[in-house]
Amino acid sequence: MLDELNPAQREVVELRRHCVAVACPGAGKTKTIATKAAMLLLAEPNATVGAVTFSKDAALELRERILALAGPATKKRLLAGTFHSLAYKQLGRRDGGAPDIATEGDRTGLLIQVLSDVGLDWKVEDAIAAIEAIKTNFGQVQSGSAEEILYRGYQDSLDRNGKIDFQDMLRLAVEGMQNGTIEPYPFTYLLVDEFQDTDPLQYQWIALHARAGSIVTVVGDDDQSIYGFRSALGFRGMESFIRQFDAQPVVLGNNYRCRAEILGAADRIIRNNRDRIPKELVAHKGPGGQVQFQRFPDEYAEAVAAMEHLAVALRSGQSAAILARTNRILDPVEAVCRSHGVKYYRASGKSILSRPEAALMCNLLELVQKTKSTGVDALLSFVGIGTQELRLLHSKGRANTEQRQRKEILELGLSEASADRYRELMKRLAEWRSLCDRQFYSLVLEGAREWMMEHTDADPARRAITTTYDVLSRLNGPFSDRLEFLRRDNNEPAADALILTTMHSSKGLEWDRVWIIRAEETVVPDEKSTESEERRLFYVAVTRAREDLRLSMAKKNPTSRFVLEAGIDAAIAT
């Protein structure tokens, strides 16, 4: 097993003291952890090994890799899991066993009631974020604050219902180990993956095991710490562990993923962060990669160029992805992929075209072309006509697309506002049908888009309307043909699908070719985050590419400072 490791990886495996392995992107950290665990299990027949990861899938994969190397006979001495699953098992060892875990629905319901009881006009998601932050901080909260009132009310509600939430698993396990009511796991060795992502509670769980006698190896990369909004400790946590436990730092600087040109650009970017563990990055694959930066007139020209370039790679059997700072930036790319019939997979977030506003726009166009006679109610509901008034419209025959006199509608019992909305929609339908008969499809599409946008202020709804319009406007022929094409859902995971995802969701993944869109100063760095964390996020995105990296932007905005730091000149100004 050791023969397959480089000197730094071998040093991590052979160390029998606390160790902090600083693993650059593509450094083979999982291979290193699995090999160390297997070596320990084989070399020390009485040793028990714990392996901790952040997700259930990662824990299962790590466990399988360890057992594949160490053999099934070592299975009983290996415990692999997430922080929360291991903490929950600790709670179950107490008298009375582990309490019930509140479901997402339980938590939402309890919070709605608590917010009402304490008189706080907060959104549920904001309340959840506040409570999670307090629990990550060991339950510490400013006395008398709104957050304390919310937290106490929520915890009381959980207690009354005999439940704990997801965060409580770790918090209660740490509290129990601190006060002596819960024993730490009797691990001889403890290995922790993605250590840069640990929050204060998770750090303390690890530290308590180290103090109890476990020899701890943590593996992570402070340069890939991108969850500051979740209280991840990053560089501070790694430095603290080295000092607190006299841990041996070992830098795994060999990158087995990226060509030298790509890794060099990434290195030039990340060196601009001050608080980081110094490391020399080496591209094991050597030179031969491509890095290019391009400017485009707008985001749609950018999306077309990215799609066309990467579609060629997919046809040749390579993997490819388009990365963006946020999900909404991917909407134009999805529109282009759908209209060109390119297989893609929206890996982070739901397809914007699956929203009800997209279906409603299609329904409207079918009514315009008279290929469908039903669906008027959905359009009337969209403009604010309620269920009771819709029943009144149906009271003397079906609601149809024919114009009615205002007096007649009022006599049915509808309000004046609803009568006006009904008549306005019928007037628009008549106009659009006339244009459709003369094959002025683009005018109808524009009119339908404007009408729907007039009746909603919700951002996701407006994005769905815009994206649906963008797809249909790039197709030809009558609406029936365009809608048939649109409904051929080519958004599905597959080996030959173009991946559309965010920079955050790309962490831990890699592709042969990567295109980062909207690399603009107004987009990344995001003003809501710190510059150093945004730089780490951009670094993560850049290092997802194996052979080919493209970065691009729309000309209307300044170039991102991170592109300038990478030293990439604009090769093509389209």
Q: Binding site for ATP: residue ranges?
A: 23-30
| Tokens coding 336 | 């282009």
**In the β-sheet with 19-23, what is the strand arrangement from edge to edge?**
78-82, 49-53, 189-192, 215-220, 19-23, 248-252
Q: What's the N-to-C CA distance of the chain in angstroms?
A: 51
The set of long-range contacts for 437-444, using a CB threshold of 8 Å and a minimum separation of 24, is 439/478, 441/478, 441/479, 442/473, 444/365, 444/368, 444/479
The rounded distance, in Å, linking the Cα atoms of 340 and 7 is 49
Closest Cα partner for 223 from 268, 179, 192?
Answer: 268
SS3 of the chain: helix, strand, coil, percent, to 5: 55, 15, 35
The rounded distance, in Å, linking the Cα atoms of 524 and 492 is 28
The rounded distance, in Å, linking the Cα atoms of 40 and 14 is 9
Where is the binding site, in residues?
23-30
| Tokens coding 48 | 């028990």
CA distances from 321 to 276, 306, 346, 374 (A): 28, 9, 10, 40
Taking phi first (over 0 means left), then psi (-120 to 50 degrees means alpha), and beta for anything else, what does residue 498 get? beta
Q: What is residue 99's DSSP assignment?
A: P
**215 in helix, strand or coil?**
strand
**440 in helix, strand or coil?**
coil
CA distances from 397 to 237, 391, 416, 559 (A): 70, 10, 21, 60
Q: Tokens 């909260």, residue?
A: 141
What stretch of H or E contains 249? strand 248-252
| Tokens coding 251 | 């830098």
The rounded distance, in Å, linking the Cα atoms of 556 and 105 is 44
| Tokens coding 572 | 């093509």
Asked if residues 519 and 563 have their Cβ atoms less than 8 Å apart, the reply is yes
The rounded distance, in Å, linking the Cα atoms of 428 and 6 is 70
The rounded distance, in Å, linking the Cα atoms of 309 and 551 is 12
Closest Cα partner for 497 from 304, 290, 313?
Answer: 313
Closest Cα partner for 393 from 357, 382, 381?
Answer: 381
Residue 525 preceded by cis peptide, ω within 30 = yes
| Tokens coding 310 | 């990467």
Closest Cα partner for 333 from 555, 525, 499?
Answer: 499
